[in-house]
Amino acid sequence: MIPLISSLCYGPLEVCQLPRLWWKVTLRTTGLLDEEYPEASKGLDAHVIDALGLDQEQTLGYIRDSLPDYLTFEAWVTQKRGEGGRQSTSYPDGAIDDWNAAVRNRIHDRPAKIEETYRDIGWSASEVNVNSAIVLNSVQDWQLFYKRDFDVDFSRLGNKVVPLISTLDYGRLEVCQLPRTWLKILLRARNLLHDDYPDMTESGLDPKALAVVGIEPQKAIDFIRDNMPSYIDFEAWVLEQNGGHLDTAAVQEWNEFVRTRDHNEAKQEDIKSTIGRDDVQAVTSAVILNHIEDMHLAHQLLVRRA
């Protein structure tokens, strides 16, 4: 299985890459991680462990042995850091903001890496010029999921898939939420979307993201259901509907809204009730609450059938 939790995703500790590391190790331990993906790379995975001052083998061993849900894993990380952990060799104390900025702004500058990623995505270097690691790695995941996982047997997950593409994630068009909207509609069309998730609402983020790119919700639903496109084909269709150009200022305003909004009290209580944990009662960030709800439900499906 392709690990759809991206490097942008974070939990209450607000550490980018940490949820992706947790999810990859969990998938590998339960025999579901795609064989081409390492459970812990020498790149971002090793660096995030180092940034937190943790020991790599101890960290990986804890996940493998305990298969914790994400909040339990974060609690373990906090405990180990409180015990002193291992002095980080690359990042001084208090440098998590710098770490997150490095993840978000990272570029791929090795020709071999760009060639590999473009090949998996289906892009031609003569037509596309993207070097953002966030965009390249995310779109690579989505394209490989579309090619390898979309038609596999999901019985080990109860034939229900949690849409682990985050509200923060974006592709070449740089529109947050748009990839998540695509995935939910696609999964619902195959009757694979987890029952707790709608593929479209009247007033949620999905129709609002589509409004930013000038697409009526029903038109997007019809296009995806009729054509079952990959993500790059969906983005190409969105761009075509806009005459080849998006309103950059509107996209930037939208992305800032998505990244900084809080859930109202009713939505907070709904998610916190689903998670059933006392340690998130003070969290109001919609991004964090959505992330931990997604990870909670995905972990439930996976571990109950492991």
Q: Is the pLDDT of residue 93 over 60?
A: no
Q: What is the mean pLDDT of residues 158-176?
A: 95
DSSP character for 203? S
Query: Domain boundaries in the chain?
Result: 110-260
Cα(77)–Cα(87) distance, integer angstroms? 14
Q: With bands split at pLDDT 50, 70 and 90, how would you rate the model's confidence at 89?
A: very low
Cα(283)–Cα(206) distance, integer angstroms? 23
Q: Is the pLDDT of residue 86 over 60?
A: no
Percentage of the chain exceeding pLDDT 90: 80
Assigned token pair, 235: 């983005």
Question: Of 88 and 214, which is predicted with more confidence?
Answer: 214
- Contacts for 278-287 with beta carbons within 8 Å, 24 or more apart? 279/12, 279/71, 279/75, 280/12, 280/71, 283/12, 285/261, 286/167, 286/261, 286/262, 287/10, 287/166, 287/167, 287/168, 287/258, 287/259, 287/261
Instruction: Give the predicted TM-score (pTM) of the model.
Output: 0.94
Q: Is 298 helix (H, G, I), strand (E, B) or coil?
A: helix
The label of the residue with tokens 């208090």 reads 94
Q: Is the pLDDT of residue 85 over 60?
A: no
Quote the radius of gyration of the chain (alpha carbons, Å): 19
The label of the residue with tokens 């493998």 reads 64
Cα(151)–Cα(247) distance, integer angstroms? 35
Q: Rounded mean pLDDT of the chain?
A: 92
Q: How many CB atoms lie within 10 A of CB 263?
A: 19
Q: How many CB atoms lie within 10 A of CB 269?
A: 12
- List pLDDT tens digits, range 102-155: 999 999 888 888 888 999 999 988 888 899 999 999 999 999 999 999 887 787
Confidence at residue 306, expressed as pLDDT on a 0 to 100 scale: 57
Cα(75)–Cα(277) distance, integer angstroms? 12
Q: ∠ at Cα 25 (19, 31), nearest 5°?
A: 135
Confidence at residue 150, expressed as pLDDT on a 0 to 100 scale: 84
- Signed CA dihedral, 13, 19, 25, 26: sign only: positive
Half-sphere exposure in the Cβ direction for 19 (13 Å, CA): 31
Q: Is the pLDDT of residue 6 over 60?
A: yes
Note the maximum CA span of the chain: 57
